[in-house]
């Protein structure tokens, strides 16, 4: 399934956040959860998908990722709280 998406992973509620962009959200989140994706998410244990947004093109998704990354932590928390106030793991919705 190729569908551009922007997503936020978290270590825990109000914990460390990671924002990314991908064309295959279920596969990418699985990589983060299992440690197959080296780097930030593995180092800080960001394994919970707490927010995502699908886009029609990768260019749109990348532009949105940059916009979110440029915003404050509060704005990122507000995005999560609006879609997922209990910070549940949204991965199960994808598979």
User: pLDDT for 17-54, tens place per residue?
Assistant: 999 999 999 999 999 999 898 899 999 999 999 999 99
What is the model's pTM? 0.94
Using CA atoms, how far apart are residues 16 and 66, in angstroms rounded to an integer?
Answer: 18
Q: Which domains does the chain have, with CATH numbers?
A: 5-94 (3.40.1440.10)
């Amino acid at each position: 399934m190729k569908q551009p998406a922007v997503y936020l992973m978290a270590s825990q509620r109000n914990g460390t956040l990671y924002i990314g962009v991908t064309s295959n959200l279920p596969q990418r989140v699985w990589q983060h959860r299992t440690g197959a994706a080296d780097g930030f998410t593995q180092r800080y244990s960001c394994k919970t998908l707490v927010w995502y947004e699908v886009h029609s093109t990768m260019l749109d998704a990348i532009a949105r990722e940059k916009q979110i990354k440029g915003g404050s932590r509060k704005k990122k928390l507000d995005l999560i709280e609006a879609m997922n106030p209990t910070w549940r793991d949204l991965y199960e919705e994808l598979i």
